[in-house]
Amino acid sequence: MSAAERAATDTTFSRLRRDPFFDVVVDLVAGYLASAFDDPATGEGDRWTLTCLPSTGRTADHERLFALGVGPMEVLYIDRYTEGGETVDYRTVLVASKSALVDRTGWSLDELSLRYPLLKFRSDDDEAAAGGDAVVIDWFLSDEGADDQFFALPLDETTIGPLAERLAGEGPSPNARAHNRSFARHVLDAMTDGD
């Protein structure tokens, strides 16, 4: 990484740290990595990447806070929505193993949608790297109670691990050059501090 790239990485991480949602972001990323890998530190930058304030889909009223990629697929990200420069909402998107989630809950995606009406469940059959076994779960913070429904799901090593194992074997992330080492180190340190 060049000195200019390192400086840009530090700058975007510093900006993200000032967001009021930062602690939640760190907890979500740490939880996903802990569920995906036995030792997340050994796969940093290779098996998984973490971007910070990427330009993906950025507009005047929308910005992605981060994207966690495992192999060739983004599996967790949060978007921030603004109006007049003020934050009005956050959208969380997480990808897990569809078959594992259905097996673990005993409910189809349609049944999950009925039981958790504030969450959106979408099968991602087009993602070749996931072998047709990905479910995208997304929700908006402004939907009161959506966070409770999300955290009630069994999103752990049984539903995230199988997908991560498959994706990590599909090769490095296309976002490897944008991997934010400062942010990744912060998350890994938080995981170690939490033990």
Q: What is the pTM of this model?
A: 0.93
pLDDT band of 4, cuts 50, 70, 90: very low
Nearest by Cα to 182 from 26, 77, 63, 19? 26
Q: What is the pLDDT of residues 122-167, one digit of tens each?
A: 998 667 788 889 999 999 999 999 999 999 999 999 999 999 999 9
> Quick check: 99 and 133 in contact, CB under 8 A?
yes
| Chain mean pLDDT for the chain | 91
- Per DSSP, the residues of 88-133 read EEEEEEEEEEHHHHHHHHS--HHHHHHHSTTSEEEE-TT-GGGTT-
Which of 109, 120, 91, 104 lies closest to 154, judged by CA?
Answer: 104
